[in-house]
């Protein structure tokens, strides 16, 4: 059996760094604002290439920031190349740190380019090994031979091509050995290599196919029978010196005086912990699993299981994690627990739904490295009260429960109940709302909730969405936890939380509690340092049990109504399809991007002016189609079709599937750690995205109903962000408008158009409304022209007139941008901060986005804080006075939705309205509208 050929991977560092810098968004920063997009791209591509190519040896080459021998030969070499931003060069030392963590030898030398180092290494290394050059450009294709290939990055980081000799011939129609002379003829604008002016790619390759080399061409082109136009002959003659200069400049040196030892480049020789440490500092949370996979590359299923087992073994060896599964252990644990005034808690269940899942156990930690897992096999319920799924889970659970645990757990529960319910004993968790709900459904009250490390992580870095426990632990503490895949396995061997081995589950859960405790200690200090502790303590943490109660309450759905609506909508969608086909002149798949592009841009010849592109051609995304809505009658039809199809799949068809079998209600999750401004979001279903002002959106809302004897009641802040704008800007005209209780949009239209209020037309008001909100969202003239449906020039004039009328609003927008530039963040009236490192970006589009956020966040964020504080006070009111007659069931942006017993609507809504109106005293009235109805979509003012 022949021995496997070994591989050396030679990395062109600068090419990958530059490509990554431009391919990845400048929003990729650490929580301290340090730009790391090029470093991330380098690391991601390194891992990708390593995984796919499976090299035995790896080296990294870099350019030195100094002139090379080519500059000495030709002063204009690379003179036309635009200097990369400083933001890129600042990242090169970090790239080196990543390379060192992977134990990669780094080669760089003054006077030479990375390509010269690559060529020399490829030449001097063992001839019998395969060399693969990882690069972002085509300069190194001249090095391709039987033992050397080029792994070239495509347009995106994921699009890569391996060039061997055949691939080079397929792409350029010449051999790799002819690439130098090819560049000598056609030049290279990116490096300012002149070539023969007037000769392009096709002519260059054609000449080399006939004459083989540059020397052969110049020796024979005047006398050859090969057909060459007089123009080309003249160009070759006139630019001969340029051709040979270009040949010299394009030739990669193969004899750079460097010391190269292949054995020092062994790929397997790196410490995964060092990589984890640097990735933790750079906050590359998503890359660590790829490193782990790389570390165990080529491993069998058994070997991968062994790698996961190593984590369990690590925890058993390094930490004190105790499974409490008998009465003796429980008594010892309980004695310690009773001494504690603060501890972390984590629950383990048979599934992910807090209502239908059963509690397998609770882990506790009050000291780093120590945790206890108290196992709770399911308490038996009467058969008649169990659903088929519950019975199935019970059966599964009894298989893994130990006899001693089944006998003792009832007593343990009674012992733990008063501790968990004690308000004075403080608890922390990671997404502790889930634990609160699980424990509630298991018969416990969880009081004294003081700290949630997920919320703390979010407040410290609101621009990120990776606040899960594994990510936060890795980012903050540099520790790689046991993942769910490590616990449950994958593929055919994957098990469930109900079936997983109790000992393994206990280690997993103890680790969760332990690192939640550790995070609470670290993040509490950071919250104080970043002056976010007050928002954490007074707004976010009191809201946790309130949201838990809203989720538990759920909302009723009218399934029949949704079924009828689905049938009607199917007919409407079918009708729209037929209109689209008739307009297009043929049938096609409207949902196929490829077919839609062919219809719009090829068959119908719709203008592509200003239409964005993707890697497969012109885009048909919603924003791009919006630019074309006046270009052809088919565009509005497609837009309407898409809206109906999306609402049908997202809500009308999906909502009935979300009805909980145990409660008969839909229980949406309300998320505190998603939006950067502080607004709540919801999922399963996403209630925020149901259109509030379209006919179909209202129809969907009509499916949310009240039970018999109850009504749906909505309390909604009226134009709150505009009122906040008046308060924050101090603009006298804006304040006067609200204090006189005038319609703000009509008043704005009158002022801008210089007409009396009574002469404001509907179109004037519509334009004014778009401007009022557009200014708050930092819209420019182009954005306003799109949203208001007016010409660009009109929008530009409107904004100018707006700021002429509301001078202090313009000053506010400028002041917020300057504040963000100076401080790196903006904040709400309650002190919630949003960090905006992008405000100093050298990329205009990114900087403009940050400026818009600087203007809007104090408004939208203050609004979010107001309604969160209101929710806490309202829930307190409900529990004290309306516990059996009012339920808070939905929160969407400025609106709170309740189920209220009919006889309590007037009394309760008045008190809630009063609470909401007085959360914050403004220079203008805070107005809260109250509406009542049988369902959420058909409400009338009270």
Which segment of 238-247, 605-614, 759-768, 795-804 scores lowest on mean pLDDT? 605-614
As a whole number, the mean pLDDT across the chain is 87
Q: Which residues contact 528 (CB under 8 A, 6 or more apart)?
A: none
pLDDT of residue 298: 44
Could you give the percent of the chain with pLDDT greater than 90?
A: 52
Structure tokens at 319: 């930490």
Whole-angstrom distance, CA of residue 816 vs CA of residue 482: 43
**Pairing mode of beta strands 617-618, 613-614:** antiparallel
747 CA to centre of own chain: 40
Which residues are paired to 134 by β-bridges? 11, 151
For residue 603, what is the enclosing H or E element? none
pLDDT of residue 269: 64
Percent of residues in the chain assigned helix, strand, coil, to nearest 5 = 55, 15, 30
Residue pLDDT, tens place only, 136-168: 778 889 999 989 999 887 654 456 788 999 999
Instruction: Name the CA radius of gyration of the chain, rounded.
Output: 33
* DSSP per-residue codes, 487-519: HH--GGG---TTTS-HHHHHHHHHHHHHHHHHH
Which residues are paired to 896 by β-bridges? 715, 891
pLDDT at 545 over 90: yes
Q: Which residues contact 929 (CB under 8 A, 6 or more apart)?
A: 714, 715, 716, 718, 941
Residue 386 banded pLDDT, cuts 50, 70, 90: very low
Residue pLDDT, tens place only, 78-106: 766 666 778 888 899 999 999 999 999 99
Determine if the peptide bond prior to 685 is cis (ω within 30°): yes
pLDDT at 695 over 90: no
Whole-angstrom distance, CA of residue 414 vs CA of residue 43: 52
Higher-confidence residue: 649 or 409? 649
Which segment of 63-67, 75-79, 911-915 scores lowest on mean pLDDT? 75-79
Strand order in the sheet with 710-717: 886-892, 895-901, 710-717, 928-933, 940-941
Show the CA angle centred on residue 537, arms to residues 534 and 543, nearest 5°: 130
For residue 432, what is the enclosing H or E element? helix 432-441
Supply the angle between the helices 792-805 and 762-776 in degrees, to the nearest 10: 70
pLDDT of residue 775: 81
pLDDT at 563 over 90: yes
Whole-angstrom distance, CA of residue 816 vs CA of residue 854: 6
Whole-angstrom distance, CA of residue 307 vs CA of residue 298: 12
Contact predicate 716/928, CB 8 Å: yes
Residue pLDDT, tens place only, 2-16: 567 899 999 999 888
Supply the angle between the helices 720-729 and 844-881 in degrees, to the nearest 10: 110
| Mean pLDDT, residues 50-69 taken together | 85
Show the CA angle centred on residue 828, arms to residues 824 and 832, nearest 5°: 70
Supply the angle between the helices 37-53 and 272-282 in degrees, to the nearest 10: 150
Q: Which residues contact 628 (CB under 8 A, 6 or more apart)?
A: 600, 606, 607, 611, 635
pLDDT of residue 402: 39
* DSSP per-residue codes, 435-463: HHHHHHHTT-----EEEEHHHHHHHH-TT
pLDDT at 40 over 70: yes
| Of residues 134, 152, 60, the one with CA closest to residue 98 | 60
| Of residues 392, 446, 451, the one with CA closest to residue 422 | 446
Whole-angstrom distance, CA of residue 383 vs CA of residue 144: 73
Residue pLDDT, tens place only, 564-584: 999 999 999 999 999 999 999
Residue pLDDT, tens place only, 105-131: 999 988 888 889 999 999 988 778 999
| Mean pLDDT, residues 703-728 taken together | 96
| Of residues 136, 21, 6, 114, the one with CA closest to residue 64 | 114
| Mean pLDDT, residues 193-217 taken together | 87
Contact predicate 452/431, CB 8 Å: yes
């Amino acid at each position: 059996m022949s021995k496997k050929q070994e591989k050396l991977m030679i990395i062109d560092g600068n090419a990958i760094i530059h490509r990554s810098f431009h391919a990845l968004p400048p929003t990729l920063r650490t929580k301290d604002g340090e730009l790391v997009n090029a470093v991330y791209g380098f690391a991601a591509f390194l891992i990708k290439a390593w995984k796919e190519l499976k090299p035995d040896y790896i080296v990294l080459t870099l350019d030195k920031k100094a002139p090379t021998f080519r500059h000495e030969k030709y002063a204009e070499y690379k003179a036309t190349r635009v200097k990369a931003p400083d933001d890129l060069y600042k990242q090169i030392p970090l790239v080196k740190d990543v390379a060192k963590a992977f134990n990669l030898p780094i080669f760089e030398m003054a006077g030479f380019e990375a390509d010269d180092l690559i060529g020399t290494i490829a030449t001097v290394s063992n001839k019998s090994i395969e060399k693969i050059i990882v690069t972002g450009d085509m300069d190194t294709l001249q090095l391709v031979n039987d033992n050397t290939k080029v792994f070239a990055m495509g347009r995106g980081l994921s699009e890569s091509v391996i060039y061997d000799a055949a691939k080079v011939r397929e792409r350029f129609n010449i051999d790799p050995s002819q690439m130098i002379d090819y560049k000598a003829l056609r030049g290279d604008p990116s490096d300012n290599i002149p070539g023969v002016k007037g000769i392009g790619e096709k002519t260059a390759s054609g000449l080399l196919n006939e004459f083989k080399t540059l020397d052969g061409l110049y020796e024979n082109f005047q006398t050859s029978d090969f057909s060459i136009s007089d123009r080309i002959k003249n160009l070759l003659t006139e630019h001969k010196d340029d051709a040979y200069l270009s040949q010299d400049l394009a030739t990669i040196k193969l004899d750079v005086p460097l010391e190269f030892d292949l054995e020092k480049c062994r790929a397997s020789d790196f410490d995964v912990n060092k990589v984890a440490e640097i990735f933790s500092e750079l906050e590359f949370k998503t890359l660590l699993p790829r490193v782990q996979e790389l570390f165990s590359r080529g491993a069998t299923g058994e070997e991968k299981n062994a790698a996961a087992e190593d984590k369990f073994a690590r925890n058993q060896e390094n930490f004190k994690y105790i499974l409490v599964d008998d009465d003796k252990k429980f008594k010892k644990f309980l004695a310690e627990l009773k001494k504690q005034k603060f501890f972390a808690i984590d629950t383990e269940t048979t599934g992910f739904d807090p209502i239908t899942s059963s509690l397998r156990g609770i882990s506790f930690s009050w000291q780093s490295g120590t945790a206890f897992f108290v196992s709770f096999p399911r308490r038996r319920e009467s058969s008649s009260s169990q659903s088929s799924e519950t019975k199935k889970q019970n059966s599964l659970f009894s298989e893994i429960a130990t006899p001693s645990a089944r006998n003792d757990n009832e007593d343990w529960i009674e012992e733990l109940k008063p501790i968990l319910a004690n308000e004075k004993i403080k608890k922390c968790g990671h997404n502790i709302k889930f634990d609160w709900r699980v424990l509630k459904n298991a018969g416990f009250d969880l009081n004294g909730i003081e700290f949630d490390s997920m919320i703390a992580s979010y407040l410290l870095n609101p621009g990120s969405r990776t606040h899960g426990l594994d990510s936060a632990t890795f980012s903050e503490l540099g520790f790689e936890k046991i993942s769910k895949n490590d616990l449950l396995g994958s593929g055919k061997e994957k098990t469930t939380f109900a079936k997983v081995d109790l000992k393994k589950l206990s280690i997993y859960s103890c680790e969760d509690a332990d690192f939640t405790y550790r995070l609470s200690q670290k993040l509490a200090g950071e919250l104080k340092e970043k002056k976010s502790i007050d928002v954490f303590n007074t707004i976010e943490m009191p809201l946790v049990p309130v949201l838990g109660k809203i989720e538990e309450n759920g909302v009723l759905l009218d399934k029949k109504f949704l079924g009828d609506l689905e049938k009607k909508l199917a007919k409407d969608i079918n009708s729209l399809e037929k209109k689209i086909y008739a307009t297009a002149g043929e049938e096609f798949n409207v949902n196929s991007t490829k077919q839609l592009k062919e219809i719009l841009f090829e068959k119908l010849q719709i203008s592509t002016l200003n239409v964005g592109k993707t890697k497969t051609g012109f885009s048909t995304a919603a924003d791009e189609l919006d630019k074309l809505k006046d270009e052809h009658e088919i565009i509005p039809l497609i837009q309407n079709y898409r809206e109906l199809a999306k609402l049908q799949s997202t809500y009308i068809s999906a909502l009935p599937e979300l009805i909980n079998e145990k409660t008969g209600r839909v229980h949406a999750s309300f998320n505190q750690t998603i939006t950067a401004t502080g607004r709540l979001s919801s999922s399963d279903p996403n209630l925020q995205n149901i259109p509030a002002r379209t006919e179909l959106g209202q129809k969907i809302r009509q499916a949310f109903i009240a039970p018999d004897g109850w009504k749906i009641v909505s309390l909604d802040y009226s134009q709150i962000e505009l009122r906040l704008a008046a308060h924050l800007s101090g603009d006298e005209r804006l304040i006067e408008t609200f204090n006189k209780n005038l319609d703000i949009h009509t008043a704005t239209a009158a002022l801008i158009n210089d007409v009396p209020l009574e002469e404001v037309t509907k179109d004037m008001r519509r334009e004014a409304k778009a401007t009022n909100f557009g200014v708050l969202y930092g819209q420019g003239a182009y954005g306003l022209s799109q949203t208001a449906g007016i010409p660009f020039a009109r929008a530009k004039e409107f904004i100018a007139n707006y700021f002429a009328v509301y001078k202090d609003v313009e000053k506010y927008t400028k002041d917020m941008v300057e504040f963000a530039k100076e401080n790196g963040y903006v904040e709400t009236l309650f002190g919630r901060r949003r960090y905006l490192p992008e405000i100093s970006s050298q990329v205009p589009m990114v900087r403009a986005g940050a400026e818009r956020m600087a203007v809007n966040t104090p408004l939208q964020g203050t609004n979010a804080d107001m309604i969160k504080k209101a929710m806490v006070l309202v829930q307190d009111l409900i529990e004290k006075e309306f516990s059996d007659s009012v339920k808070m069931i939905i929160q969407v942006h400025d609106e709170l939705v309740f189920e209220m017993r009919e006889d309590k609507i007037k009394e309760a809504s008045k008190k809630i309205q009063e609470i909401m109106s007085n959360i914050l005293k403004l220079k203008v009235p805070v107005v809260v509208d109250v509406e009542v109805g049988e369902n959420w979509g058909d409400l009338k003012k009270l």
